[in-house]
Amino acid sequence: MDEKNKKIVEEIAKTIRGLSIEAIEKAKSGHPGLPLGCADIGAYLYAEVLKHNPKKSNWLNRDRFVLSAGHGSMLLYSCLHLAGFKVSMKEIKFFRQFGSKTPGHPEVHVTDGVEATTGPLGHGTGNAVGMAIGMKILAAKFNTDKYKLFDNKIYALMGDGCMMEGVVSEASSIAGHLRLDNLVIIYDSNKISLDGPVSENTSEDTKARYRAYGFDVFEIDGHDLDALDATFKEIEKKQTKPILIVANTIIGKGSPHMSGSHKVHGAPLGEEELKATKKALDLPEEEFYVSKNVSSFFEKKQESQKKLEDDWNENFSRWAKENPKLFEEFKKMQCKTLPSELEKDLKDLEMKTPIASRESSSKILNYLAEVLPFLYSGSADLSSSDKTYLNNFEQITFSNFKGRNFKFGVREFAMGTISNGLSLVDTFIPVCGTFLVFSDYMRNAIRIAALSNLRVIYQFTHDSIFLGEDGPTHQAVEQIASLRAIPNLQVIRPADANEVKMAWIAALKHIGPTALILSRQGLPTLAETSISFEDGLSKGAYIIKKEKTKPDYTLFATGSELSLAIEVAKELEKLNKDVRVVSFPCFEIFETQKKEYKDKIIKGELGIRVAIEAGSEMGWYKYIGLDGIAITVNRFGISAPANKIKEEFGFTVDSIVKKII
């Protein structure tokens, strides 16, 4: 690095430190340690490395920077502000305040230039792996000998806390296995975590660990700009594997009394230490100071960055004209438009009966993959059982990114974070599968997908105690209720093949994640569910059997219990009882309906209300009232054949009738 460039990067780093600690102090809240310790890395990345256009932050071929150590958000906000993204000085000063675009941890779609919602440690690293996979897919699919449209890189910054989280091990193992030569992970190794020195709990050889994963590993002084420059120039020259850069840094660098200590990790410096730190860093007394040199540097850089995208757009236009079929495929992936006849086509798909909803969903998914090129599917080592494999497409491997099937191995959490990263590339809707009980392993990834409005579809199978002999370790009881507790997650438990078809339409329309809750056992296909999407599943709950006059009983049921509810209704009618049966596949969709419709389903003179679902009772009393009867499962299951379990837990017609009469 020549002296002129080095001088301006040093000044940018100093500016990042000043903006960060002042914003944190003004908010009286935040994490100054990482911004002070990683300012040199941030300055170098945004001044020298990243190929992007801050004035059009969604340019598809941009380099992406993910701050996995999301608690250090002021580092990112300072970089984005200086680089010219839509992060104003007003927002810097409004850090962590109500309604600000600079929240405590970075949130995608809230702050311009933020690539992923991060904060739960390690999550962003998995996102970065997913983004790198997504860009490798696009390159394999659309690059030609003449045009290399997609050649960007994904950069992630993670800390000691991220490195300790298991999801980083899972995601890094996959990255190494797939030989992702477009992924660079920078490890901020300051050897301090919130509670104290990392040496208190960790003594592993991190470099050896990552070499074993299949990474190329570099180690540098994270404050040495010449070392940073030399390392990144070597990576730029030739990268054949994912990279880990171990950047040894001093947490809170510049703070006279707190640097190198866990005390600077998660709390403001305080007014006196702030003044002392500014003096030590040779920062002017003026608050939130940005020099003309720094402003001018980034203004000039924005011109070259705009030209970078303009040139790419011209190249893309030429490619589109010369490759019309590829261009049409690209547009379909980017727009994610559903065919106008999709509902009719799905209705026309023939299904045997009875059929497990995991099987009917598999048939639908395989059909959809043929007409929706943006659907990619994967499983945590269960594709033969959760039925997520796309039969007419290849598996993605390190030598073939033209496939559309992922094999994640037994790595549920990484599968979730990688799927989120793939969704963030914005040309994919990933589908990922495992048994419902193992959704617990990936819960944080599901939550972040919901928070971020990411379009990910989860195929959760083996949905209840009725899977039988595998026993309580594999029998889902509380999982449906716990998933329903996540805002913006559609949890759909379809009753049969008809509802599974409509559930897929709901999943594809939803701007956010959807969990399809599917059975292992065969389910009869019901004539009562053979109705339009508009009249049925799009409402979340709908009447499938009307009362003759005024119901003595209203039965609410989901999934495999809907056919049971119909049989119970028939038995009650033999006892001269008037019965309404409501299919209730999705609480979340139902809650979006107009009041008039909801009142029609759950209010009025409905007699004794009964919920029938082979899962926790939690959530049902909102609909059946405190006097309602919940035929549910509120203890762990047992290892036994399914029919014996039905008897033991009272999921038979006779048992239910006796309980509610």
How far is residue 280's CA from residue 272's CA, in Å, rounded to a whole number?
A: 12
> Pick from 49, 75, 73: which is nearest to 63 by CA?
49
- 123-142 and 324-335 helices, crossing angle to 10°: 150
Separation of CA 487 from chain center? 14
**CA-to-CA separations, 659 to 93, 435, 596, 654, in angstroms, rounded:** 62, 31, 32, 9
Decide if 284 contacts 223 (C-beta within 8 A): no
Q: Is 612 helix (H, G, I), strand (E, B) or coil?
A: strand
How far is residue 93's CA from residue 81's CA, in Å, rounded to a whole number?
A: 11
Separation of CA 231 from chain center? 31
Decide if 464 contacts 475 (C-beta within 8 A): yes
Q: Is 412 annotated as catalytic?
A: yes
How far is residue 490's CA from residue 516's CA, in Å, rounded to a whole number?
A: 8
How far is residue 427's CA from residue 9's CA, in Å, rounded to a whole number?
A: 35
> Pick from 646, 643, 560, 647: which is nearest to 355 by CA?
560
Count of C-beta atoms within a 10 Å radius of residue 183: 28
How far is residue 519's CA from residue 463's CA, in Å, rounded to a whole number?
A: 5
Count of C-beta atoms within a 10 Å radius of residue 199: 9
∠ at Cα 419 (142, 141), nearest 5°? 10
Q: Which amino acid is at 372?
A: L
Q: Which of 91, 165, 170, 412 is catalytic?
A: 412
Decide if 351 contacts 497 (C-beta within 8 A): yes
Under DSSP, the state recorded for 525 is: P
How far is residue 621's CA from residue 463's CA, in Å, rounded to a whole number?
A: 21
CA 514, 518, 523, 526: dihedral to nearest 10 degrees? -10
How far is residue 235's CA from residue 212's CA, in Å, rounded to a whole number?
A: 19
**CA-to-CA separations, 639 to 319, 478, 564, 568, in angstroms, rounded:** 59, 17, 22, 26
Under DSSP, the state recorded for 579 is: E
Could you give the residue numbers annotated as active site? Answer: 412
